[in-house]
Chain A
């Protein structure tokens, strides 16, 4: 008889399953768009108009960076809270409600993005993942994002409710480590999302609805990065959680230090947000002093990651030595490299070590003249969110799938090949992206081939770099296909009675060694807020003082003409989408208008 998560919490397992499947759906579409872009950009194979590239890029960014990661992590967090507190959610309908809200929000944001592909619906949100004003997306896009974020807020409420209920019954116990990680991450997320909520609700949404005339582009951009940097920790902290509480177990050992894991998460809580300005080192209108403060905060944010590197590797080494490993490096051979779950996570960690370096460069203030908005940055985040996070999530899926379906994994060898292929593909792609960035090749462009601009490589050539990027992209796509084959085929397996039990790693140095103050969430929240106020008050005041709250008068640049109409009309248009005749007539009339706008702007 098995003792899987499904056996322990059958109702919650369904929620986790739904969240995972939503996440995989986003991964599939986002991944497909990934290969389309790779081939287009490198000019290996182009089948669409270059203007559509930006629609593909928007969908790729939103679906992978937001939808894939966050749906997966709400699943993991729900599993972590219920498993470590050993109690089900307080109200299952509430749990399904936040999941439902996230789905509706995603769908609402996706409609205008995908409508950008067709001229028969006059709706678009090809504003990329960063939606910088005065580029303006359809109101439905902003509204969808808001609902999605509100969904995650309610998910946080759910986890806090579970913890409070548990605390009432266990007043003198330490917060179990997985729950502690969930709670600190959630508080960080609440603080971080205030930025994007303010940007959308106060400025971008009213502006896209025509309620206000203009916005201050530097202000909305700064509010975006208030959220835009810590969002990466929202993906990364569940990854760290997997490395801390699962990887030691798969290595055959124990977590080296529970107290240090808590210290790391507290550091992330207090330092994640007051760093966003490091994305704006090259922005005019922000004083150098503010940029320097953001850099100092960012550099100290390296500390929790560097500590994690030690603790996680030491936990793996503990497993290796218990399995008979010896020597300074010889112990590495004793690790379970045939286990796709372990190997995937270990390779993801290795890639993150490399990403750590390019991140250190990104954090350096003046060196941003070299790398800012070049392909280097794209190489960096394909190592972080694209590998450290995505590969860990995929690898740990091979452990989670049996837990939430009650079915054995379809094929472990295929899973092993899949995680290794991802590592190899990303090595090619990301290394070439970093190198291209150093030559000044820009990111976010459909055709980095110019008439009057050449990129000179001291070693190799741009052609060679493009070939590596395309090759990497193809390998990554094959890896994704294998992943989905395994997930789908596992779904067709019958129920198994011989699955591993649900659980997570024990610690060598347990919570009893951790000072009580670490569990004082109110204290850390207060410190986090003070640091945010310290880092952001003066820059924001200065930006508002310079450019005004609603900015100078700007020329609105809607990516679709429809965006000025009220939402009701927009929804109606969505319904009309199927009536081709009417819609194409409308588009025929509007297409010249779109060109005219570009002319007027000139």
Chain B
């Protein structure tokens, strides 16, 4: 079966101390940047740009009183 074929393509044995997952660090660093960018886009552009938004009524009332 192919499972055994897959295992036979193993060329080296890498132990715990000699393995640094540098590719994982690169990939996950990329993921981190994508997450931050998407979050900023969805919160500040999609959400805050989607007016009107529910606001604190009482705070605005106070502000309104201040104007008068």
Given A250-B6, A329-B26, A367 and B47 contact (CB-CB distance below 8 Å): yes
| Minimum CB–CB distance for B53 against chain A, Å | 7
CB pair B9 A252 closer than 8 Å: yes
Q: Mark B1-45, 1 if CB is under 8 A from A, else 0.
A: 111101101111111100101111011100100110011001100
CA of A250 to CA of B1 in the docked complex: distance in angstroms?
13
| In the complex, residue of chain A having the shortest beta-carbon distance to the beta carbon of B38 | A357
CB pair A329 B27 closer than 8 Å: yes
CA of A250 to CA of B28 in the docked complex: distance in angstroms?
21
| Minimum CB–CB distance for B6 against chain A, Å | 5
A499, CB-defined interface residue at 8 Å: yes
Give the number of residues in B that approach A within 8 Å (Cβ atoms). 34
Picked from A322, A329, A499, the residue with its CB within 8 Å of the CB of B14 is A322
- Tell me the B46-62 residues at the A interface (CB within 8 Å): 46-47, 50, 53-54
CA of A329 to CA of B24 in the docked complex: distance in angstroms?
9
Picked from A323, A328, A342, A508, the residue with its CB within 8 Å of the CB of B22 is A328
- Tell me the A115-168 residues at the B interface (CB within 8 Å): none
| In the complex, residue of chain B having the shortest beta-carbon distance to the beta carbon of A438 | B46
Q: Mark A314-340, 1 if CB is under 8 A from B, else 0.
A: 100110111111011101100010010
| In the complex, residue of chain A having the shortest beta-carbon distance to the beta carbon of B11 | A324
A408, CB-defined interface residue at 8 Å: yes
A471, CB-defined interface residue at 8 Å: no
Picked from A250, A252, A367, the residue with its CB within 8 Å of the CB of B43 is A367
Given A252-B7, A321-B14, A361-B42, A500 and B1 contact (CB-CB distance below 8 Å): yes
| Minimum CB–CB distance for A453 against chain B, Å | 15
CA of A122 to CA of B53 in the docked complex: distance in angstroms?
44
List B contacts of A329 (CB < 8 A): 23, 26-27
A369, CB-defined interface residue at 8 Å: yes
CB pair A408 B27 closer than 8 Å: no
CA of A136 to CA of B21 in the docked complex: distance in angstroms?
54
A310, CB-defined interface residue at 8 Å: yes
> Count the A-B residue pairs with Cβ separation under 8 angstroms: how many?
92
| Minimum CB–CB distance for A519 against chain B, Å | 21
Given A309-B31, A438-B46, A322 and B11 contact (CB-CB distance below 8 Å): yes
- Tell me the A385-421 residues at the B interface (CB within 8 Å): 399, 402, 408, 412
A194, CB-defined interface residue at 8 Å: no
List B contacts of A408 (CB < 8 A): 1
CB pair A328 B26 closer than 8 Å: yes
Given A321-B12, A322-B14, A499-B1, A367 and B19 contact (CB-CB distance below 8 Å): no
| In the complex, residue of chain A having the shortest beta-carbon distance to the beta carbon of B39 | A360
A111, CB-defined interface residue at 8 Å: no
CB pair A256 B31 closer than 8 Å: no
CA of A328 to CA of B27 in the docked complex: distance in angstroms?
8
Given A309-B28, A339-B6, A360-B35, A328 and B23 contact (CB-CB distance below 8 Å): yes
CA of A18 to CA of B19 in the docked complex: distance in angstroms?
41
A498, CB-defined interface residue at 8 Å: yes
CA of A438 to CA of B39 in the docked complex: distance in angstroms?
14
CB pair B19 A318 closer than 8 Å: yes
A582, CB-defined interface residue at 8 Å: no
List A contacts of B11 (CB < 8 A): 322-324
CA of A361 to CA of B47 in the docked complex: distance in angstroms?
10
CA of A256 to CA of B22 in the docked complex: distance in angstroms?
13
A578, CB-defined interface residue at 8 Å: no
A547, CB-defined interface residue at 8 Å: no
List A contacts of B50 (CB < 8 A): 370
List A contacts of B47 (CB < 8 A): 366-367, 369-370
| Minimum CB–CB distance for A579 against chain B, Å | 54
Given A327-B23, A498-B1, A370 and B46 contact (CB-CB distance below 8 Å): yes
Picked from A256, A369, A498, the residue with its CB within 8 Å of the CB of B21 is A256
CA of A252 to CA of B10 in the docked complex: distance in angstroms?
7
CA of A332 to CA of B22 in the docked complex: distance in angstroms?
12
| Minimum CB–CB distance for B27 against chain A, Å | 6
A454, CB-defined interface residue at 8 Å: no
CA of A181 to CA of B21 in the docked complex: distance in angstroms?
24
List B contacts of A402 (CB < 8 A): 1
List A contacts of B35 (CB < 8 A): 356-357, 360
CB pair B39 A323 closer than 8 Å: no
| Minimum CB–CB distance for B51 against chain A, Å | 11
| Minimum CB–CB distance for B15 against chain A, Å | 8
CB pair A500 B23 closer than 8 Å: no
| In the complex, residue of chain B having the shortest beta-carbon distance to the beta carbon of A408 | B1
CB pair B21 A313 closer than 8 Å: yes
A583, CB-defined interface residue at 8 Å: no
| Minimum CB–CB distance for B31 against chain A, Å | 6
| In the complex, residue of chain A having the shortest beta-carbon distance to the beta carbon of B46 | A438
List B contacts of A370 (CB < 8 A): 46-47, 50
Known: A367-B43, A369-B47. 4 other contacts (CB 8 A): A313-B24, A314-B21, A329-B26, A370-B50
Query: Which residues of A are at the interface with B, using a C-beta cutoff of 8 A?
Result: 250, 252-253, 256, 309-310, 313-314, 317-318, 320-325, 327-329, 331-332, 336, 339, 342, 353, 356-357, 360-361, 364, 366-367, 369-370, 399, 402, 408, 412, 438, 498-500, 508-509
- 5 tightest A-B CB contacts, nearest first: A314-B21, A500-B3, A314-B24, A324-B11, A328-B26
8 contacts between A and B (CB under 8 A): A317-B23, A318-B21, A328-B22, A339-B2, A339-B3, A357-B38, A370-B50, A499-B1
